[in-house]
Structure 1
Amino acid sequence: MGTGIEEKDTGDKDVKKIKGNRLLYDNKKNKTIAGRRPWKPRSRPYSVQIGDRNCDVLISDESGKININKITDDTKDNFVKFLTFCKLDILTAETITDSLLDWLDKDDLHHINGAEKDYYSSLPDPYEPKNGSFESIEEMALVKGVTPHIFEMIREHLTIYGAGKINVNFASREVFSSVPMFTSEIAEAIIQFRKKWGSVKRIDSLKDLLSQFGIVGKDYQKILNYLTISDSNYMTIHAIASSDKIKNSYKIVIQKSLDNCKVIAAYP
Structure 2
Amino acid sequence: MSGRRERGVALLIVLWGCTLLAIMLGGFAALARTEGLQARYQFAQTRAHYAAEAGVMRAIEGLQSTDIASRWIADGRPYVFAFEDAQVTITIVDEDGKVDLNAASGDVLAGLFKAAGATDDKAKALSAAVQDWRRPGDAASPNGAKKPQYEAASLPYGPRNGPFATVEEARMVLGMTSSLWAAVAPALTIWSGRERPNTEHAQPLALAAIPGLGQAGADAILASRGQANGAAIAGGNGVTHTIRAEAILDDGTRSSLTSTVRLRGIRSGNQPYAVLRWREGDVE
Instruction: Check whether TM > 0.5.
Output: yes
Residue number among 191, 216, 221 corresponding to 2:222 in the alignment: 191
Where do 1:194-213 residues align within 5 Å?
A: 194-198=225-229, 201=232
Where do 1:17-36 residues align within 5 Å?
A: none
Q: Deviations over 1:220-260 (max 9, x none)?
A: xxxxxxxxx94332111111222343333211101111241
What is the CA-CA distance between 1:156 and the residue it aligns to? 0.5
Aligned to 2:25: none
Residues 1:184 and 1:160: Cα distance change in structure 2 (over 3 Å): same
Residues 1:179 and 1:125: Cα distance change in structure 2 (over 3 Å): closer
Q: Does residue 265 of the first structure (1) align with residue 277 of the second (2)?
A: yes
What is the CA-CA distance between 1:122 and the residue it aligns to? 4.9
Aligned to 1:232: 238
Aligned to 2:258: 251
> The residue matched to 2:141 in structure 1 has which SS?
coil
Where do 1:80-119 residues align within 5 Å?
A: 80-119=110-149
Identity of aligned residues (%): 24
Give me the TM-score of the superposition, normalised by structure 1: 0.69
Q: Kindly provide the amino acid, as one letter, of the partner of residue 135 in structure 2.
A: D
Q: Does residue 177 of the first structure (1) align with residue 183 of the second (2)?
A: no
Measure the CA separation in 2 of the matches of 1:230 and 1:88.
Answer: 32
Larger-gyration structure (1/2) = 2
Residue number among 93, 97, 102 corresponding to 1:60 in the alignment: 93
Q: Which has the higher strand share?
A: 1
> The residue matched to 2:213 in structure 1 has which SS?
coil
Q: Which has the higher helix share?
A: 2
Of structures 1 and 2, the one with the larger relative CO (CA 8 A, separation 6+) is: 2
Q: Cα RMSD over matched residues? A: 2.9
Measure the CA separation in 1 of the matches of 2:86 and 2:154.
Answer: 46
Q: Deviations over 1:115-144 (max 9, x none)?
A: 111233455551231101111100100101
5+ long unaligned stretches in structure 2: 1-46, 52-60, 63-69, 267-271
Paired residues of 2:74 and 2:237 also in contact (CA < 8 A): no
How many pairs does the alignment contain? 209
What is the CA-CA distance between 1:167 and the residue it aligns to? 2.2
Q: Kindly provide the amino acid, as one letter, of the partner of residue 233 in structure 1.
A: V
- Regions of 4+ moved over 6 Å: none
5+ long unaligned stretches in structure 1: 6-21, 24-36, 203-228
Paired residues of 1:69 and 1:160 also in contact (CA < 8 A): yes
Q: Kindly provide the amino acid, as one letter, of the partner of residue 235 in structure 1.
A: H
